[in-house]
Amino acid sequence: MNRLWSDMARRTEPYIPGEQLNRPDVIKLNTNENPYPPSPEVLDAIRAEAARLHLYPSPTAKPLREAIGRAEGLPADHVFTANGSDEVLAFSFMAFFDPGRTIRFPDITYSFYPVYSKLFDIPFEEVPLREDFTLDLAGFAGSDGVILPNPNAPTGLYEPLAGIREILESSKDRVVIIDEAYIDFAGPSAAELIPEFENLLVVRTTSKSRSLAGLRVGYALGSPDLIEGLVRIKDSFNSYTLDRLAQAGAAAAFGDPAYFKETTGKIIATRSRSAKRLVELGFTVLPSSANFLFCTYPDRSAESLYTELKNRNILVRHFGKPRISEYLRITVGTDAQMDRLFGELEEILRK
């Protein structure tokens, strides 16, 4: 530990992202990226925008927020954008949660939440998921702030809106953040509850369903008051969190709904085919509403399967955490990638 560090640098326990082994011979099914490239319209928009890189980007990202608003059926004053939904989440912790007021999130969830809590000195309680990994709704009642993903990560389970509504109603004076990184593979979205609940913030990303993990564009949907709170934090931190290429590229992605529909449709079809195949191989697979499958095999350790797959140049995700250490999270790739995976798994399991 460095004696010159601030308290903040000392107490933080940084998030560790999935391995980024971008070798052409490796099949990457470990970070829930989209296996399909971005829409061609995104590439055209980025190419055109590159000629203007000598000028600062829009600090308000208004054209992008309008494009998102059109796609989501909300005015631009209900939309906030930032550098990936991770940055949206970090700003949300600063804008809506307080040191001294305990927030809640599930015990099995996106592992960035405890990292932000510690970084910003916000106390938290983990509400255990039920035995079947569904949310214990009553456990969130009357909290001083709630954050949870829907569908949840890494389980892939989707909580119907009646349950989300129950949480919103029991925490009316504090903000409830629903992290919808995977909602486009599930639905319906809690965004339809925004007119009813001014304490609801819905956080989204272009990283998964819009094939833009490398561009770093996340957004939030909520009442204009919540959006203003986020803008206050952002403008006290960095005026230009989204560069010109990111703003132009993401706006083009929202302007091409046909491509979005086609690629998400393909992933959903591959997901159901892959879940069936895993069950045939002997896995137990949780019903997924996301672009990944969370599964366990009865008499092989998840860690050994992870390692054997890695030795065969297939990366999946294994979390060495209580309750889920015997599970693997497998991103849904293309049909060809999944067939490679099943071929290797057959050989590994035959041994």
We find the least distance from the C-beta atom of residue 343 to ligand PLP, in angstroms, to be 28
Contact call for residue 85 and ligand PLP (CB under 6 A): yes
Residue type, 277: R
Contact call for residue 33 and ligand PLP (CB under 6 A): no
We find the least distance from the C-beta atom of residue 264 to ligand PLP, in angstroms, to be 15
Q: Which two tokens stand for residue 216?
A: 């770093």
- The three-point CA angle 22-23-29 to 5° equals 60
Nearer to ligand PLP, 39 or 211 (CB): 211
Nearer to ligand PLP, 217 or 302 (CB): 217
Contact call for residue 38 and ligand PLP (CB under 6 A): no
Contact call for residue 218 and ligand PLP (CB under 6 A): yes
Nearer to ligand PLP, 146 or 345 (CB): 146
Cβ pair 150, 190 in contact under 8 A: yes
Choose the stretch contacting ligand PLP; rule: CB under 6 A; options: 80-88, 94-102, 250-258, 263-271.
80-88
Contact call for residue 35 and ligand PLP (CB under 6 A): no
Question: What residues pair up with 296 in beta bridges, in sequence order?
Answer: 284, 327
- The three-point CA angle 190-241-77 to 5° equals 45
Q: How many chain residues bind ligand PLP (CB under 6 A)?
A: 13
DSSP string, 54-120: TSPPPSS-HHHHHHHHHHHT--GGGEEEESHHHHHHHHHHHHH--TTS-EEEESSS-THHHHHHHHT
Contact call for residue 205 and ligand PLP (CB under 6 A): yes
Nearer to ligand PLP, 212 or 285 (CB): 212
We find the least distance from the C-beta atom of residue 118 to ligand PLP, in angstroms, to be 17
Contact call for residue 69 and ligand PLP (CB under 6 A): no
Strands 200-205 and 218-222: antiparallel
**Whether the bond into 35 is cis, omega within 30 of 0:** no
Choose the stretch contacting ligand PLP; rule: CB under 6 A; options: 205-213, 227-235, 326-334, 343-351.
205-213
Q: Give the residue, chosen from 30, 150, 189, 207, that forms a contact with ligand PLP under the rule CB under 6 A.
A: 207
Here's the x/- map for ligand PLP, 145-184, by CB under 6 A: it reads as ----x---x-------------------------x-x---
**Whether the bond into 154 is cis, omega within 30 of 0:** yes
Strands 103-106 and 124-127: parallel
Contact call for residue 61 and ligand PLP (CB under 6 A): no
Contact call for residue 81 and ligand PLP (CB under 6 A): no
Cβ pair 67, 61 in contact under 8 A: no
Q: Give the residue, chosen from 49, 86, 144, 159, that forms a contact with ligand PLP under the rule CB under 6 A.
A: 86
Question: What residues pair up with 68 in beta bridges, in sequence order?
Answer: none
Contact call for residue 209 and ligand PLP (CB under 6 A): no
Nearer to ligand PLP, 15 or 342 (CB): 15
Strands 176-179 and 124-127: unpaired
* CA separation for the pair 277, 324 (Å, rounded): 21
* CA separation for the pair 33, 148 (Å, rounded): 20
Name residues contacting ligand PLP, limited to 272-301 (CB under 6 A): none
Q: Which residues bind ligand PLP (CB under 6 A)?
A: 32, 84-86, 110, 149, 153, 179, 181, 205, 207, 213, 218
